[in-house]
Amino acid sequence: MGRVSDATTQSPTAPGSTVHPADAPDAPWWRHAVIYQVYPRSWADADGDGMGDLPGITARLPYLRDLGVDAIWLSPFYVSPMNDAGYDVADYRDIDPRFGTLADADAMVETAHGLGLKVLVDIVPNHTSSEHAWFREALASPPGSPERDRYLFREGRGPNGERPPNNWPSVFGGRGWSRVTEADGTPGQWYLHLFDVTQPDLNWDNPEVRAEFESVLRFWCDRGVDGFRVDVAHGLVKREGLPDWHGRVGLYDEVVTEEGPEDGDAPGTDTDVLDHTATSSSPMWDQDGVHQIYREWRAVLDSYGEPDRILCAEAWVKPESRLALYVRPDEMHQAFNFDFLESPWDAAALRAVVESSVRVNDGVGAPTTWVLSNHDVVRHASRLGLDQSLPRPNGITAEDPQPDAGLGLRRARAATALMLALPGGAYLYQGEELGLPEHTTMPDEFRQDPTFHHTNGEVAGRDGCRVPMPWTKDSPSFGFGPGGTPWLPQPQAYGDLAVDQQDGVPGSTLELYRSLLALRRRHRLGRSVLAWDERCSDSVVAFRATADDGSSVLVVTNLGPDALTLPAAEVLVTSGPLDDGRLPTDTTVWLRSTDA
């Protein structure tokens, strides 16, 4: 959370009025599922090489069953040179040896299913690795060849083609185009890479590209996978002609300059980066052509019958009405609600984004998919300990203002308790159930995010939220693996937050999550009616979630400075201790009473 959503301009529904109707009792699993993101490199290391792997994931799956989630989503484990943490895929049908083998993947899926957990995997369709066989073939083939047409190769501007085809920068900093050397040794065409130079963008106007990815979907569905999280789902299709863009330039919320680089020139500085959030006018994001692609993908997944195989969009799209297009009945099943993630810790902003989100999604018959943290953003236990009037940072270094750890964790627990009571689906990011903070003091020499390196360290990047999990306090790498040196260093604070330090401890963040998830399932909150309660105010978010049997839970989050008097009711769970029966600031409570 870190900026006011566009949703704050909408008028809220009156207390007592239904904001969102109940879902059907037999609604498909994905409409109300809680899905846990596993970042494979940082989850569990079975072989001691300092990097997480598939056998490590498999061994720790009972922990997730006991936590109470419905499914897991794994970030990429494909063959990759790891220039962008596996989002530079060299082979979509094989496992990188760092993580294991296809047999290990099959065993992981089988074990998960045996524990009652579904499995989603990442698919990365906007670009491949420059080491992908297709791109190597493109480099070895002449301009205009079928091999080059799989990617976005273009002639350069200027008398000798020395300037890039347009002025688009890269999300990671620097120019969004790179020039190749042709087979005869002369400077040749340019290829587009909206991310790292080693991640060439695919040409989705090419039928061969479309057929290939449908084949990849079938490959993993045939191996038992239950769905896909689609990376950069709002990318893929670019506006015809690839016109110059002079709009806002920045990475997520970090504004570097208000205008793009000059026509045909490289970005003004090495720290200029392309805004990853789509607007209706940007030629590189959220083009209408993406929707036909996802209709075709939906048909592939629907052909497998029940239970549904699903698609979840990572689409940084505004306004919300544009995002809702991705979850129409014949397209994707879910889309991450990043407006909720980005909302500041403010009662009016939270209430507005909740209402506007369910309103636009109900309009297309889709559930809202709530999220607070993932592998690309500062962990919410730290983010909520920062000044909420400032934009959300892309990483935090030791030189930056440091979060208030106690405040951040208290708010994070309250925010999660609010989120898990809302109807729809929800995603959790590994370690948030431990209250893990961002690693904000990681030495620069350990940072691996290409954003950090392409911006000469001016943008910290995402390493701080990707640090390996702590399992046991008094073990090498806090139990992450038998080796003592994980791929990213863990802060000392992780020791006291390790699983073995919280397991069974009343009031711990781990036990809070277990309680929330168990109660969410018991009271069918993911399928419930949502109505605002009269206790809503400028400092309080309060709503009633009513199940199909008429039972209801009153959820109250106090964001004000003073403790709040609560009605006489059964306390189901609180995100923090009550104060003589009153609800302190930055605390959420779930209450059950027929007259609360």
Q: Is 458 annotated as catalytic?
A: no
Q: Which residue has the tokens 């904000």?
A: 440
Element (H, E) at 207: helix 207-222
DSSP state of 150: G
Query: Would you call 241 helix, strand, or coil by DSSP?
Result: coil
pLDDT tens string, the chain, 596 residues long: the values are 544 344 444 567 777 789 999 999 999 999 999 999 999 999 999 999 999 999 999 999 999 999 999 999 999 999 999 999 999 999 999 999 999 999 999 999 999 999 999 999 999 999 999 999 999 999 999 999 999 999 999 999 999 999 999 999 999 888 999 999 999 999 999 999 999 999 999 999 999 999 999 999 999 999 999 999 999 999 999 999 999 998 764 333 333 333 334 444 444 333 344 555 555 578 999 999 999 999 999 999 999 999 999 999 999 998 999 999 999 999 999 999 999 999 999 999 999 999 999 999 999 999 999 999 999 999 999 999 999 999 989 999 999 999 999 999 999 999 999 999 999 999 999 999 999 999 999 999 999 988 888 888 888 999 999 999 999 999 999 999 998 899 999 999 999 999 999 999 999 999 999 999 999 999 999 999 999 999 999 999 999 999 988 889 999 999 999 999 999 999 999 999 999 999 999 999 999 975 54
Q: State the span(s) of the chain assigned CATH 3.90.400.10.
A: 129-201+240-276
Q: Check: CB of residue 294 under 8 Å from CB of residue 434.
A: no
Closest residue by Cα to residue 312 from 333, 282, 331: 333
DSSP state of 163: B
Closest residue by Cα to residue 508 from 435, 416, 404: 435
Give the distance from CA 284 to its chain's centroid: 20
Query: Would you call 130 helix, strand, or coil by DSSP?
Result: coil
Does residue 319 have a cis peptide bond before it, meaning omega lies within 30 degrees of 0? yes
Q: What is the dihedral of CA 339, 345, 348, 351, to 10 degrees?
A: 50
Q: Is 231 annotated as catalytic?
A: yes
Q: Give the bridge partners for 556, in sequence order.
A: 542, 589
Q: State the span(s) of the chain assigned CATH 2.60.40.1180.
A: 528-592
How far is Cα 543 from Cα 589, in angstroms, rounded to an integer?
A: 11
The 10 Å Cβ neighbour count of residue 247 is 13
Helices (H), 313-431: 320-324, 338-342, 347-362, 380-383, 405-419
In our burial notation (b when 16+ CB lie closer than 10 A, e otherwise), range 481-508 reads beeeebbbbbbeebbebbbbbbeeeeeb
| CATH classification code of 528-592 | 2.60.40.1180
Q: Within a 13 Å sphere around the CA of 372, how many CA atoms are in the beta-carbon half?
A: 29
Strand spans (E) along 169-240: 177-181, 187-192, 227-230
Rounded to a whole number, what is the distance in angstroms from the first to the last CA of the chain? 30
Element (H, E) at 91: strand 91-95
Q: Are strands 71-74 and 34-38 parallel, antiparallel or unpaired?
A: parallel
Which CATH superfamily groups domain 6-123+206-237+288-502? Answer: Glycosidases (3.20.20.80)
Residue type, 189: Q
How far is Cα 583 from Cα 596, in angstroms, rounded to an integer?
A: 15
How far is Cα 328 from Cα 239, in angstroms, rounded to an integer?
A: 22
Q: Which of 53, 70, 226, 231 is catalytic?
A: 231
pLDDT the model gives residue 255? 30
The 10 Å Cβ neighbour count of residue 318 is 18
Angle of the 405-419 helix axis to the 509-522 helix axis, nearest 10? 10
Q: Give the bridge partners for 312, in sequence order.
A: 229, 334
Q: Are strands 254-257 and 249-251 parallel, antiparallel or unpaired?
A: antiparallel
| CATH classification code of 129-201+240-276 | 3.90.400.10
Q: Check: CB of residue 527 under 8 Å from CB of residue 23.
A: yes
Query: Would you call 73 helix, strand, or coil by DSSP?
Result: strand
Token pair for 443: 């030495």
How far is Cα 165 from Cα 252, in angstroms, rounded to an integer?
A: 24
Q: Which of 104, 147, 314, 432 is catalytic?
A: 314
R_g over Cα of the chain: 24
Q: State the span(s) of the chain assigned CATH 3.20.20.80.
A: 6-123+206-237+288-502
Size (the chain), residues: 596
For residue 477, give every residue at least 6 positions away whose Cβ sits within 8 Å of its Cβ, in sequence order, or none: 45, 50, 468, 483, 484, 485, 486, 490
Query: Would you call 583 helix, strand, or coil by DSSP?
Result: strand
Closest residue by Cα to residue 123 from 188, 196, 216, 224: 216
Contacts 24+ apart (CB under 8 A), 192-195: 192/151, 192/152, 192/154, 192/165, 192/168, 192/238, 192/242, 193/127, 194/126, 194/127, 194/168, 194/170, 194/235, 194/274, 194/284, 195/84, 195/87, 195/126, 195/127, 195/170, 195/171, 195/450
Element (H, E) at 543: strand 540-546
DSSP track, 437-481 = PP-TT--GGG---HHHHHTTTSS--SGGG-PPPP--TTSGGGGT-
How far is Cα 34 from Cα 102, in angstroms, rounded to an integer?
A: 26
DSSP state of 232: T
